[in-house]
Amino acid sequence: MRVLAVSGSLRRDSHNRRLLAAAARLAAGVEFTVWDGLADVPPYDEDLDVEPAPAAVAQLRAALARADAILIATPEYNHSLPGALKNALDWASRPFPANSLRGKPVAVVGASTGMFGAVWAQAELRRVLQAAGAHVVDEELAVPSAHEAFDDGGELRDAASSSCPVMTARASRWAVSPEGSRPRRTSSRARGCRPRVRADVIRARTRGRGRAASRARGA
């Protein structure tokens, strides 16, 4: 089983890179490859969306096509996913509908230095992936206070460490399930890790509080 891991952060010491590294160490029986070409993907331009595609785009599409399943870890910038990640997915979604994301099992996780663990970004990212035709695992793994979540060796300190391989395994199992099957919706609460915090609930609670501006959370 080949799993392609993608970090939505460009920062060298990104918390989300650490999250993927932890998932790779914990995922048994999986060929785990981290794609690190995000910074090389040019801004999407339909005039450039021809054959041959720009080199970085061709490499991205080929990596996605080779994978049996995909694991994406995203930070949260201004309550949404990073522009570089969205841009890469715009390229990957083309040509539509016969693109390299079509029918591909994808699991989404995220870490941020804020208290909600990039749940808004994860929700937005799942919407983008679904629009591109991916089969998205309907669950989130939020790692809040990411600057405190890892020990000196890069290992997750708490129960989220048990959820990373579970998310990876769920996407992997979906990759070999019968055509058209859907994953069973589950709750992170049942697995003993952090209760799932729904993005729509958070929006409802924070709407109208008069926040002048949103901040980009640590990646």
Decide if 107 contacts 129 (C-beta within 8 A).
no
In a domain, 51, yes or no: yes
Residue 181 sits in which domain range?
A: 2-206
Decide if 150 contacts 137 (C-beta within 8 A).
no
More confident residue, 212 or 133: 133
- The number of distinct structural domains making up the chain is 1
Collapsing DSSP states into helix, strand and coil, what is residue 135?
A: strand
- Count other C-beta atoms under 10 Å from residue 66's C-beta: 11
H runs (alpha helix) in 4-93 = 15-26, 55-66, 83-92
pLDDT of residue 157: 75
In a domain, 211, yes or no: no
In a domain, 6, yes or no: yes
- Count other C-beta atoms under 10 Å from residue 106's C-beta: 25
pLDDT of residue 59: 97
pTM over 0.85: no
- Run of H or E residues at 72: strand 69-74
In a domain, 214, yes or no: no
CATH number at residue 21: 3.40.50.360
In a domain, 170, yes or no: yes
Is residue 103 predicted with pLDDT exceeding 50?
A: yes
In a domain, 116, yes or no: yes
DSSP string, 79-119: TB--HHHHHHHHHHT-SSSSSTTTT-EEEEEEE-SSSS-SH
More confident residue, 163 or 85: 85
Is residue 212 predicted with pLDDT exceeding 50?
A: no
In a domain, 106, yes or no: yes
pLDDT of residue 95: 93
